[in-house]
Amino acid sequence: MPDRRDPDRLERDINEILSNIEQFPDATQRKHRARHRIVEEITGRISAQQQALMRMLSGISLSQMMLASFLLILGSMFFREIVRISWPWVMYAGIFLFLTSFTLMVFGGSRVQRRGGQPKYWRGRQMPPGYGAPTLSQRLRQFWNRRKPR
């Protein structure tokens, strides 16, 4: 919508654009822009691949990670005669994955649920806060907090 107070505004904008068209970038500026475009394209591809990987990994639960760690540990023990060089490393990876998933199960958890921010629903009805027995991770956390010196 044109401005009623300044009828020549459109003409001034056109003249400004036309005057800037004549200022082409020199060779070094063009090379810099081309390099910048290539770097942006590469980083965009890397970012898209990282986002796809994170979407794929977000579908894996902690219990699936723990099951995979058990399979790695057991597989490294059963197949140590077949692959003599790599079996200790596979077992170490399984132990590390198990410890990581166990730690996340016990001490991880959603921070929103810890503060009691999200209400629980069952059959369409809101459950009262603290309803039900505490989970294993909650009991371990309570035990740990009781043992800490104040």
Three-state secondary structure of 8-39:
CHHHHHHHHHHHHHCCCCCHHHHHHHHHHHHH
Least confident stretch, 9-13, 86-90, 101-105, 109-113: 109-113
Q: How confident is the model at residue 107, as a pLDDT? A: 81
Instruction: Check residue 123 and give left, alpha or beta (phi > 0: left; psi -120 to 50: alpha).
Output: left
* Of the listed ranges 34-38, 47-51, 69-73, 83-87, the one predicted with least confidence: 83-87
93 band by pLDDT with thresholds 50, 70 and 90: very high
SS3 121: strand
Report pLDDT for 94.
93
Contact between residue 65 and residue 97 where contact means Cβ atoms under 8 Å apart: yes
